[in-house]
Amino acid sequence: MFENSEVLVYFENQFVALKDAKINILTHALHYGTGVFEGIRGYWIAEEEELFLVRCEEHYRRWKANCRILNIDPPKSAEELTEITAELVRLNHFRTDVYVRPLSYMSSARIGVRPDGHSSFALVAVPFGVYLESTKGIHAGVVSWRRVDDGAIPARGKICGAYVNSVLATTEAHANGFDEAIILNQNGHVAEGATCNLFMVRNGKIITPPPSDNILEGLTRACIIDLARRELHMEVVERSIDRSELYICDELFLTGTAVEVAPITMVDHRQVGHGQIGFLTGKLRELYFQATRGRIADYQAWLHPVYQPVLAALRS
Ligand SMILES: Cc1ncc(COP(=O)(O)O)c(C=O)c1O
């Protein structure tokens, strides 16, 4: 459980202590999974006394778009939500890496599946470090659960109910001794990890499944595609990946806001390539690390500084 109940959260249009942000036990989303969430990281750079929110506005744009799948319309723009998030971090005086969890949800408190148009949203920010330890590479395993299909619950949506699929996959992967699950879609093609996208290096190309293979259209995935093309001049192909390609490829890695770039060195008890972190994987991981800490000028547009603009405004 998150211990610090005094931490401030944004709930029902105001900043309140976490312990006071309560919902009714009959809330629609709690019973039927009718929420849409996001996950945003912020990195604290001690030398600059600054905390950078990574692609914050894009996360909120994706969130608002995904909310439309459930006919929810959070009544704030992506820009306003970014400002509220920055204020939330400032009010909590966070001087450490953070994770921000926006959640919109159907809020009516009664029995019955039929939505009645009531929704609410909350933003929570918590101190957050490493989510998946992967410095030496991880062992991933294909699980027996199949990815939710767009015709059932759209995987691109970050819809709360769909994460039962990720929970089942993670539980099975861990029970089988793997660090992370690889989930196939209904066609038997590789979709993604439980909370991350998958990339493969094969025959000199970087390959990742397309959104039509029932993946979440990850923003870290988009960052990696950008970095691979612009910085490494690599060809990146979006195409379906067969399970057996996982066993014969040269490199594999996972990407996501929480997992960042996690090299896979073993898959289903087989070595990936030479069983070491792949060359391109290592390069991309380092580039992503540097870019998200504001150390590559070309990618500073990805970052929203939390403290310095306000301090500068106070000084002027
Ligand atoms: C199922 C799933 N796939 C992929 C991702 C990665 O998306 P992003 O890079 O935008 O965090 C996530 C992130 O939570 C996820 O839940």
212-219: average pLDDT: 98
Dig out the tokens for 48 from the structure: 């600059």
The domain over range 138-296 is classified in CATH as 3.20.140.10: no
- List Cβ neighbours of 133 (8 Å cut-off, separation of 6 or more): none
Question: How far apart are alpha carbons 284 and 220 in whole angstroms?
Answer: 11
Percent of the chain, pLDDT > 70?
99
CATH fold for domain 8-127? D-amino Acid Aminotransferase; Chain A, domain 1 (3.30.470)
Residue 1 has pLDDT above 70, yes or no: no
- Give the pLDDT band of residue 313 (cuts 50, 70, 90): confident
Does ligand 1 lie within 6 Å of residue 256's CB atom?
yes
191-208: average pLDDT: 98
pLDDT at 156: 94
pLDDT at 308: 87
219 CA: nearest ligand 1 atom? 10
99-118: average pLDDT: 97
pLDDT at 314: 82
Number of other CB atoms surrounding residue 61 within 10 Å: 17
pTM of the model: 0.96
Query: Is 215 within 8 Å of 283 (Cβ atoms)?
Result: no
Does ligand 1 lie within 6 Å of residue 220's CB atom?
yes
234-258: average pLDDT: 98
**What residues does each domain of the chain span?**
8-127, 138-296
- φ, ψ (nearest 5 deg) of residue 272: -90, 125
Dig out the tokens for 282 from the structure: 């290592």
Question: How far apart are alpha carbons 96 and 89 in whole angstroms?
Answer: 10
Query: Is 126 within 8 Å of 2 (Cβ atoms)?
Result: yes
Nearest to 70 by CA among 108, 36, 23: 36
Question: How far apart are alpha carbons 296 and 298 in whole angstroms?
Answer: 6
Residue count (the chain): 316
Does ligand 1 lie within 6 Å of residue 221's CB atom?
yes
Residue among 197, 223, 225 whose CB has most ligand 1 atoms within 8 A, to mutate:
197
* Strands 260-267 and 270-271, bridge-based pairing: antiparallel
Percent of the chain, pLDDT > 90?
95
Residue among 103, 196, 257 whose CB has most ligand 1 atoms within 8 A, to mutate:
196
* Lowest-confidence region among 70-74, 161-165, 251-255, 307-311: 307-311
**pLDDT, tens digit, 9 for 90 and up, residues 290-312:** 999 999 999 999 999 999 888 88
**pLDDT averaged over every residue in the chain:** 96
Query: Is 265 within 8 Å of 271 (Cβ atoms)?
Result: yes
Residue 3 has pLDDT above 70, yes or no: no
Does ligand 1 lie within 6 Å of residue 208's CB atom?
no
pLDDT at 312: 82
Does ligand 1 lie within 6 Å of residue 157's CB atom?
no
- Of 81 and 313, the one with more pLDDT: 81
